[in-house]
A and B are shown apart, each in its own frame.
Chain A
Amino acid sequence: MGNEHSHGSSAHSAPPNPYLEKHTTPEQTEALEKRVRTLESLLIKKGLVSAETLDKMVETYENDIGPLNGAKVVARAWVDPAYKERLLKDATPAIAELGFSGLQGEHMVVVENTPSVHNLVVCTLCSCYPWPVLGLPPAWFKEAAYRSRSVVDPRGVLHDFGLTLDESVAIKVWDSSAEIRYMVLPERPAGTEGMSEEELVALVTRDAMLGVTKAESRVA
């Protein structure tokens, strides 16, 4: 795809596809809800799970684990060069220094954006995502459009997010095909030199840590 062809044009010329629309009529949703209730009651009766433990698991990912964790890691790296060096060399223990670890982040790699290199994270085969630092993935990360096109047309995908990169910037796409989980260290925005670490945390978005946008110098 040449430049003129990469700015999301493949998206607009896509043929109609009945599978692009999810089947979420009220009847279908009701049927789903029933199946889920049935499965839960059976798993409880069989002794695999308890309702209280399920509640606790949901609470953990709704309230405790989300992209604020990753933002703290990024802000620390922006203000502390020694920390940034440890983070880029061996991310898992560096992230654990701030108290973040665990499921779907056992083996972390952090990749750095610079004026000449832009990194983008995807999982084409399923939806692997660095949970301890970013929480659970947004729907678009798990759906076909992003998973399929990020590897072949990263510039078009970035255009879908409103980001146009100069042709001279090298894009590195990271397909999380194994149990290594990737997070992007965005560039620190210009004009933030006087900001404290705490103020910087507020500038770091989930999307910037996936590489679909850049961090901006003020909160959107």
Chain B
Amino acid sequence: MNGIHDMGGMTCFGPVKPEENEPVFHAEWEKRMFAMTMLGMGQLDTLDGFRHAVERMDPAHYLSSTYYEHWLAALETLALEKGLLTPEELATGTATETGKEAEGPLPPEAVSAVVHAGAPTNRETGRLTPRFKAGNRVQARNLNPTGHTRLPRYVRGKNGVIAQVHGTFVYPDTNAHGKGEQPQPLYSVCFDAHELWGPDVSGADSLYIDLWEDYLDPA
């Protein structure tokens, strides 16, 4: 989706403003929102589906709200869409029925193991033989899907070089939409700054981005 989240290359947002001695969280509600998402989101959707729920926020609201409000909006969206909550329940705060409790909540003592194990997205299944190898010249396809994608606008149609083959990884464009993981090769692709931004930027600079095989053509 060509949404407001796809902001690479825009220059209208002013200077970066680092905060001195920034705390991990700025408010109690941010803590709760962070933890709810970490523990609840996986029971509703994939991480790709969650990212897409953030991307579907009203664009003006996306820009005017802070990070954990994005998470709140996305988690509410998914809870409604997946049928966990009704609009009435969200409005009143009163649950009309308990959940199915198929798994039940994770106990506190299990948190450390979950955090340290992580959730790898490389796969031994799917498309295992890469079409490209390091050094191959490629062109990012000019694709404008209406759903989730990790192919940002600023590289579409641009020529680059395969820097590294990462292996076979879950494909977000299908995984975000309940169409399965459909794993395929993922590459680190290097683009010259001049190719992306024209002649006025430093020719010494370059941009590396991770792109799935279906985002690329031979150049």
Contact = CB atoms under 8 A, between A and B. Distances in A.
27 contacts: A32-B29, A42-B85, A46-B95, A47-B100, A47-B104, A49-B35, A49-B40, A58-B25, A58-B31, A58-B34, A60-B112, A62-B24, A102-B116, A103-B114, A103-B115, A124-B9, A124-B154, A132-B116, A140-B16, A145-B13, A145-B16, A148-B7, A148-B8, A148-B13, A151-B8, A153-B201, A170-B204
Interface of A: 1-3, 5-6, 8, 10-12, 14-15, 17-24, 29, 32-33, 35-50, 52-58, 60-62, 65-66, 101-107, 109, 124-127, 132, 135-136, 138-140, 142-149, 151-155, 157, 160-161, 167-180, 207
B22 interface: yes
A152 B197 contact: yes
A148 B11 contact: yes
A40 B76 CA distance: 11
B99 interface: yes
A101 B112 CA distance: 11
B12 to A, nearest CB: 6
Contact of A175 (B69, B75, B205, B207): B207
Contacts of B64: 18-19, 21-23
A48 B43 contact: yes
Nearest to A22: B66
A143 B207 CA distance: 20
Contacts of B166: 107, 178, 180
Contacts of A66: 24
B121 A160 contact: no
B40 A47 contact: no
Interface residues of B, number: 98
B206 A52 contact: no
Contact of A17 (B13, B32, B65, B201): B13
A153 B121 CA distance: 31
A175 B117 contact: no
B90 A38 contact: yes
Contacts of A207: 18
B150 interface: yes
Contact of B99 (A22, A47, A136, A171): A47
Contacts of A143: 13, 16, 67
A160 B14 CA distance: 10
A18 B197 CA distance: 27
Given A48-B39, A146-B16, A149-B16, A178 B210 contact: yes
Interface in B8-58: 8-19, 22, 24-29, 31-36, 38-40, 43, 51, 54
Contacts of A140: 16-19
A180 B209 contact: no
B122 interface: yes
A46 B90 CA distance: 12
A43 B10 CA distance: 38
Nearest to B164: A109
A147 B8 contact: yes
A45 to B, nearest CB: 4
Nearest to A151: B8
A61 B24 contact: yes
A170 B108 contact: no
A40 B90 contact: no
A105 B119 CA distance: 9
Contacts of B197: 152
